[in-house]
Structure 1
Amino acid sequence: MRTRITTAAVISVLLTLTACGAEPEPEKRASDKPSTQGTGTADGVTSEQQASARKAAGVPEEPTGAERAELIATIAKVAPDAAKHEEKAVLGALNQCAAIHAKAPKLDWLAAQRFSYKGVNTSESQGKELNQALKDGFCKV
């Protein structure tokens, strides 16, 4: 009888102790999050600060409308297959502008890589032509 009472007491103490540490933290409510009102973005950077940083890095704004169509047409003249993937081509052009502005080494190779996708291979000579076309137009910030 004594063993049963002692065992029951030990088990209840162990269950009580493990239950104390196993409680999950209460979920954070939306009202607990810091407010981003007036800052422009969730990370606290205003749109003016973003524009300034883009300009300093030599990256133009993402083109829309006629400017986007002109950029795609420019890419298509040099690398027609690369222009078929418009979103990738535009992102590649934006990234290539940053590399051009930073005077990165192997610009022709970088352009060839940026404008090569699954099923699309852009050569370094096409990369060189793309760099010149971007320098002459789209990448002027």
Structure 2
Amino acid sequence: MKIVIQRVSEASVTIDGEKVASISKGFLILLGIVNEDTQEDIKWLTNKIVNLRVFGDENNVMNNALLDANGDVIVVSQFTLHASTKKGNRPSYIKAAKPDIAVPLYEDFVKQLEVDLGKQVQTGRFGADMKVKLINDGPVTIIIDSKNRE
């Protein structure tokens, strides 16, 4: 699993003109899934997300985690995170998991994140054409791949 975390002061997801998710302070997380991903990847990533210290403390130093900042989360599925651009100019998405594998893992990722945070996580809609708006706070953008743990 690969994620792109963007610390935001606000973010939203719109599908067919309908706003389906909206938060103020927190994380917008783009999630890419491959066939080899497992529940272990989910648990490792959600723990990392909840404890990632990228929010300002009383001295505006990045010492606080999402829980400390009482931040919210939107998770958006994004198979293009696993694009291969080695050959030619048209990306290949062959590494990205097909929906029969990706959808259950995506749903489990969201559920585990809700357990770890102790609150609801908002989402886009898997496979939909989504319009994502955000104000990246900082800017802070972090990429984490569960296959690169060491």
- TM-score class, shorter-chain normalisation, is under 0.3
Normalising by the residue count of structure 2, what TM-score does the alignment of the two structures yield? 0.26
Normalising by the residue count of structure 1, what TM-score does the alignment of the two structures yield? 0.27
Q: By percentage of residues, which structure has more strand?
A: 2
Higher alpha-carbon Rg: 1
